[in-house]
Structure 1
Amino acid sequence: MKLKICGAIIGCLAMVAASGAAARELSPKEKGVIEQAAKQQLKDPDSAKFYWQDYKGGDVYCAHVNAKNSYGGFAGKALLLVGVKTDSKGNITSADVSIRSDNMMDKICTKRGYSA
Structure 2
Amino acid sequence: MFSKPAIFSALLITAAALAGCVTQSGNSPSTLSYRDLASDEKKVVAEAVGRVIKDPASAKFHWAKFPGNAGSGDVNYCAWVNARSDLPGYSGNQLYIAVLGAENGRVKSAVVGAIHGGADAHVVRALCKRYGLNPDDAV
Give TM-score, length-normalised by structure 2.
0.59
What runs of 5+ residues in structure 1 fail to find an aligned partner? Answer: 1-17
Between the two proteins, the alignment pairs up a number of residues equal to 94
Structure 1: how far apart are the matches of 2:84 and 2:125? 22
Moved beyond 6 Å, runs of 4+:
none
- Other structure's SS at 2:54 match: coil
Q: For 1:68, give the aligned amino acid.
A: R
Instruction: Find 2:128's aligned residue among 86, 93, 109.
Output: 109
Structure 2: how far apart are the matches of 1:22 and 1:107? 22
Structure 1: how far apart are the matches of 2:33 and 2:130? 16
Deviations 1:23-75 (A, max 9, x none): 111111110000011111111111100000101345201110111357xxx92
RMSD, aligned α-carbons: 2.2
CA contact (8 A) 2:52 2:85 kept: no
**Cα pair distance change 1:92/1:53, threshold 3 Å:** same
CA contact (8 A) 1:53 1:114 kept: no
Which of structures 1 and 2 has the bigger CA Rg?
1
Q: For 1:42, give the aligned amino acid.
A: I
Identify the residue that residue 93 of structure 1 maps to in structure 2.
108
Instruction: Find 2:48's aligned residue among 32, 37, 49.
Output: 37
Q: For 2:102, give the aligned amino acid.
A: T
Structure 2: how far apart are the matches of 1:42 and 1:94? 18
Note the C-alpha offset of 1:76: 1.9
What runs of 5+ residues in structure 2 fail to find an aligned partner? Answer: 1-29
- Greater percentage in strand: 2
Q: Could you say which structure has the greater relative contact order, defined with CA pairs below 8 angstroms and 6 or more residues apart?
A: 2
Give TM-score, length-normalised by structure 1.
0.70
Structure 2: how far apart are the matches of 1:92 and 1:54? 12
Note the C-alpha offset of 1:96: 0.3
**Identity in percent:** 32
Deviations 1:52-105 (A, max 9, x none): 0101345201110111357xxx92211121111110x11110000132222112
